[in-house]
Structure formats: C-alpha cells, structure tokens
Structure 1
C-alpha cells in the first residue's frame, strides 16, 4: 500500500483481495498500537511513524535477501549481477566503463548493470551494490575504498590569455569569462588559504567534455579534472593558470557492508583497485577521445 498509494492498486499488484490487505494493515496497526496510514476515499498515505516503519522494514528485507545470497553463493566461480552507479564524463566513460568491460570478459557469468549519474544515491534505498563518487563522503556504516586522487586544474587557451591578459591570482577570475558546469562556486585552496569565486560571467555547460572543447576554442577559463586537460597542457594546446591553487579530490568506491561480503562485488572492487591507476596514467598521457 505504501508503494502503490491505494488498497486497490496494491491488491492488483499482489494478488490479494482489497479486503484482505485492509484487514492485515488494521491488525498490524492494532498490534503495534500506532496508526501507520492516513485513509481517505481516494488514496492512502503514510503517517510519520508509518513512513519510518516502512523504510526500516524495506531495509530489513534487503538485508535478508543479501544474507541469503551470501550464504548460498558459490566459491567456485563468479556469477550473478552487480549494479553500479558511477560518476560520468571522461572518468566514467573512458576509465570505469572499459574496466567493467574487461571484468565481464574475464568473468562472463557476472552481469554488470552500469549507469552514470552525478546525483547522490542512497545505497540502501536504491539497491545499488557499488557506487563510485568524487569528493568528501559523509561518515556512515558503508564500506568506503579510495580508488584514486584526482587533481583539478584551471586552464585556458593561449589565444584567450593573449586577449584578456595573465591570470595571476584567484580574484582575476572574476574579471574574465569562465566556463563552468554544475559547480558555479569555485573554492580555490592553497595551503590553509581559501578564496571563493562565483562563476556567473561566461558560459555554463553541464558536461566536462563540452567544457573542455569550449576551453580549446578560447571561450574562457575552465576548471576540470586533470584527465581532461593534462595532455593538452603537455602539448601547449592549453595553459594552466593558478597552478599553486590546484586542488585534489578523492575518487572512492562505496559499498553497503553486506554487499561487500558478496564475492563478485568484492572481486570487482579489487579489480578496480588493481587496474584503475594504470588506466588513469594512460589517459593523462593520451587525453580523452571525442
């Protein structure tokens, strides 16, 4: 009922009668001594206590499913599915995805479902086995494994700098066009010093690849991970500005504790740990495709 919004819809989905479901909920409320649902003639909605009870029951069922899978898993080979949510862009498409493909080639009975998103997901709520994320992660009961440290660089084309002049301090960024994405407030750090630049002058593009192309076209100063721009800096297609203010961001693998006990999930995490650094260094040298 909590999921479907009415006894009628829940009955159609479950195969139980509407009257039977209503009676079961009423008996549960009586046993608990609390009201779980607000009932109207058209729909149902959870009370505050009902919402909390529903979420805890759902998590408990997921844990039971995982525990059963752990108990019955085969130690002779890897098989089954792994659901991954990962940061996208160059890191997801040219680093994570190829490593997943290699893993599937090595273990053909494992089925990996990979999707890319910058949105924070709740591992328990969304039922992902593994999430790969950049940045500081909140303390929790989840298993967190460092994958790599990514450096952020500020770059512009030589033509842009010839037109607008040198960028020697963070405050200079407020005087020139910037190319920015979903992060429009840049926090530049050098030692214990921080300076904030509001990116509102220039062009906004919610794609690292497009921001990279725009910087090559001379449209502004941009802030990107080194895998996007390191090869261009080495070949003088882009110039790094404010090198003393470059930042480091952690790329981490995050996994629920029970899923970490599943052999195939743990094996994929170990695969990433072994192969990701070398792939990253190669991408720094070659630069992104496309």
Structure 2
C-alpha cells in the first residue's frame, strides 16, 4: 500500500466514471497525460490491469470494476470523515443532499418543511431531488433519503415519519353499474386504474390475494390515477393522502376496506453522514413536524 498514490486512485475513479481520459481531464483538473501516467503507475503498484485500452474504446477489466467500486466507497467515506472533522460539531452550516419520493409525499409534504427549515437555518443548503431512481444510500452521495416500504439495509439510521394507508376506491357512478365488490377476486373482471405495478397484492391478516390488471388504464402518476377514478373509469389503489378528502366528500367510495394496507414512510441516513450535526438536526426537524402536515393534507383536496 505504501507504493500506491491516493492521487492515482482518484485519477482512476475519474477515468472509470467518465469513460475515458479526455472526459475525465475536463472535470478533474488533471491533464490527460497526467491521468494516464497516474493510472499506469497505480496498475504497476497493484500488479494488475485495471483498464482495457484501445484506440477507440476504454473499459474496466473485471478486477478494475471491483477495485473501482471499493475505492469509490472508500473515498466517499474519507471525504465524509474529512468534512466532519473540519467542522465544529455544533455548527449548522453546509450542504445536505437529499433524495425523496415525489408526488404529494415529496412535493406537497416534504418540500414545504424543507423550505421552513432553511428559513430557520440560512447557512444550511438542502439539495432536494425527487428522481425515482433506486438509491444505494451507502454508495451514493446522498446524506438522507425518504422512502416508502421495507427498510433496505438495517445498518442505516432510520426515523419513521408516518404510516401510510393504501385504499381501494372508485366513484359512486362506477359502483352503481359495478356493484357487489366484496372480495379481491371480484376485481378481476373490472376495469382497474393502476400505476407502474400491474398486479396488486391485497393483504388481510395472514391472508393474501394477488390481482393482475387485465383491463382498464395504466398511468405512472398518482394524481392522474385519482382523476381517472373521479371520472368513473374504474377502481384504483392509492395512498390516503391522495383520496381521503374525496372519501369524506363522497366523491369516491372505498371498496374492500378490510384489505387496506399500511406502509411505512421513513427517513434513512448512512451512519457516517448521521455524524454531521446539520443532518441530525434536519432529521429531527422532519420527524417533529411531518405528522401534523400529513394530517392536514388528508383533509385538503389534492391539487
């Protein structure tokens, strides 16, 4: 290890991430020749080949791919440790990178709380991303994510925000002509409004039923699914924040209420990032204020 340069490892990471020496030079501050020499020296120190180089293509070897993944994680941890060491443990300043589910959960509930938080802590900047990509929180650059469902990794720091109820609903007009929905199997021959998942697993105690959507419409927006249900196009499956106000107003009617489901909405943070005071303060802020905002949203008709 004494012969391995940290600059060489960083150069290799840049090249691996950007697919070549030219692209890596544009973002790294190294020259193309310097990057090439650093990576060559790293390969010599390791006595392995990390890259396949041709005149037209550069790609990682199998060993290079594994080495990149381990070095990337190690560098992220070192950068986090350096950031933590360089700041006062009581200082509330700096950047927090956060990823969250979108729709009403992220845009209508989380975002206003983040805005309020930044008003109170103007030296903290929260970069909030609503992309729906699956995030490996340990390996990514995010400090914090908000997710629905089962916790993916027990090593993460978790704060439960709210238990979301998913309901099966339809308009009164639809149910006038499609009455008698008493069991999940009764949905099989009905038009259903689904999102990205075209099968529904309904649970009641230890009993489970799976319904495959055979007819109806498919849209990847909860708001549009609600609008389709209000228009009488079928039965849909949505979280309570989408439909609770409509249920109370009689615009939608719940079917199969005993088959409604509970799903946890949770904040997740890598242990190393949780050591940053600003991240802990934001987590506790959201934990303290999220429930009241959620309850308020249940009685408001979605926009």
Asked if these proteins are the same fold (TM beyond 0.5), I'd say yes
> Relative to 1, partners in 2 of residues 1:11 and 1:111: Cα closer, same or farther, differing over 3 Å?
closer
**Partner residue in 2 for 1:150:** 164
Conserved 8 A contact 1:11-1:17? yes
**Partner residue in 2 for 1:40:** 54
Structure 1 length normalisation: TM-score? 0.94
| Farther off after superposition, 9-18 or 150-159 | 9-18
| Farther off after superposition, 85-94 or 124-133 | 124-133
1:101 to 111, 115, 123: 115
Conserved 8 A contact 1:6-1:42? no
Conserved 8 A contact 2:102-2:131? yes
**Partner residue in 2 for 1:72:** 86
> Relative to 1, partners in 2 of residues 1:285 and 1:9: Cα closer, same or farther, differing over 3 Å?
closer
2:72 to 40, 46, 58: 58
Conserved 8 A contact 2:190-2:215? yes
> Relative to 1, partners in 2 of residues 1:33 and 1:217: Cα closer, same or farther, differing over 3 Å?
same
2:63 to 49, 53, 77: 49
> How far apart are residue 19 of structure 1 and its match?
4.1
> How far apart are residue 11 of structure 1 and its match?
3.9
**Partner residue in 2 for 1:244:** 258
| Farther off after superposition, 232-241 or 69-78 | 69-78
Does 2:276 align with 1:262?
yes
Does 2:189 align with 1:175?
yes
| Farther off after superposition, 168-177 or 4-13 | 4-13
| Farther off after superposition, 274-283 or 30-39 | 30-39
> How far apart are residue 142 of structure 1 and its match?
2.1
In structure 2, the gaps of 5 or more residues are 1-14
Conserved 8 A contact 1:38-1:45? yes
> How far apart are residue 119 of structure 1 and its match?
2.3
Aligned length: 289
> Relative to 1, partners in 2 of residues 1:27 and 1:75: Cα closer, same or farther, differing over 3 Å?
closer
- Could you say what secondary structure the match of 1:176 adopts? coil
Counterparts of 2:91 and 2:16, CA distance in 1: 39
**Partner residue in 2 for 1:141:** 155
Counterparts of 2:291 and 2:145, CA distance in 1: 18
Residue-by-residue CA offset, 1:101-147 (whole Å, 9 max, x unaligned): 11111111111111213321122443011110101122343222211
Counterparts of 1:76 and 1:18, CA distance in 2: 42
> Relative to 1, partners in 2 of residues 1:108 and 1:216: Cα closer, same or farther, differing over 3 Å?
same
Counterparts of 1:188 and 1:262, CA distance in 2: 41
> How far apart are residue 159 of structure 1 and its match?
0.4
Structure 2 length normalisation: TM-score? 0.90
Residue-by-residue CA offset, 1:247-289 (whole Å, 9 max, x unaligned): 011111111111111111111110111001111111112232x
> Relative to 1, partners in 2 of residues 1:17 and 1:73: Cα closer, same or farther, differing over 3 Å?
closer
> Relative to 1, partners in 2 of residues 1:27 and 1:281: Cα closer, same or farther, differing over 3 Å?
same
In structure 1, the gaps of 5 or more residues are none
Does 2:235 align with 1:221?
yes
